Amino acid sequence: MSSGTDTRLGMNGDGAGEHGDSDATTPTGPEGTPYAESRETTEGRIYHVSGGDWDDVLGDAEHDERMVINMGPQHPSTHGVLRLVLELEGETVTQLRSVIGYLHTGIEKNIEYRTWTQGVTFVTRMDYLSPLFNEMGYCLAVEKLLGIEVPRRAQLIRVLLMEINRIGSHLVYIATGGMELGATTAMTIGFREREEVLHLLEFLTGLRMNHAFIRPGGIAQDLPTDAHEKISEFIKVMDKRLPLYDKLFTGQPIWRNRLKGVGYLPVDACLALGVTGPVLRSAGLAWDLRKIEPYSLYDEFSFDVPTSTEADCWARYLCRVEEMHQSLRIIRQVLDKLEPGPVMVEDKKVAWPAQLSISSDGMGNSLEHVRKIMGQSMESLIHHFKLVTEGFKVPAGQVYVPVESPRGELGYHVVSDGGTRPMRVHVREPSFINLQSMPAMSEGGLVADVIAAVASIDPVMGGVDR
pLDDT band at 1 (very low <50, low <70, confident <90, very high): very low
**Burial (0-12, 13-18, 19+ Cβ within 10 Å), 201:** buried
The residues near 223 (Cβ < 8 Å, ≥ 6 apart) are 157, 204
The pLDDT value recorded for residue 32 is: 52
pTM over 0.75: yes
Q: Does residue 160 register a pLDDT over 90?
A: yes
Mean pLDDT, residues 357-386 taken together:
66
pLDDT band at 361 (very low <50, low <70, confident <90, very high): low
Q: Does residue 35 register a pLDDT over 50?
A: no
Q: Which residues on neighbouring strands pair with residue 257, listed in sequence order?
A: none
Q: Does residue 371 register a pLDDT over 80?
A: no
pLDDT band at 59 (very low <50, low <70, confident <90, very high): low
Nearest to 295 by CA among 118, 127, 141: 141
Other beta carbons within 10 Å of 33? 11
* Percentage of the chain lying above the pLDDT 70 cut: 82
Instruction: Write phi, then psi, for 98 (nearest 5 degrees).
Output: -90, 130
Q: Which residues on neighbouring strands pair with residue 70, listed in sequence order?
A: 85
pLDDT band at 8 (very low <50, low <70, confident <90, very high): very low
99-154 pLDDT, tens per residue?
888 888 889 999 999 998 889 999 999 888 999 999 999 999 999 999 999 999 99
439 or 379: which carries more pLDDT confidence?
A: 439
Q: Which domains are seen in the chain, by residue range?
A: 1-52 (no CATH), 130-352+391-429 (1.10.645.10)
43 or 364: which carries more pLDDT confidence?
A: 43
Distance CA 76, CA 82 (A): 10
Question: What one-character DSSP code corresponds to residue 126?
Answer: S
Nearest to 424 by CA among 61, 20, 116: 116
Determine which of 55-64, 169-178, 381-390, 402-411 has the lowest per-residue pLDDT on average.
55-64
C-alpha to C-alpha distances, 457 to 96, 234, 293, 369, nearest whole angstrom? 15, 27, 23, 46
Report the chain's mean pLDDT, rounded to a whole number: 83
181-223 pLDDT, tens per residue?
888 888 899 999 999 999 999 999 888 888 889 999 889 888 8
- Computed over its alpha carbons, how large is the radius of gyration of the chain? 25
pLDDT band at 13 (very low <50, low <70, confident <90, very high): very low
The pLDDT value recorded for residue 366 is: 62
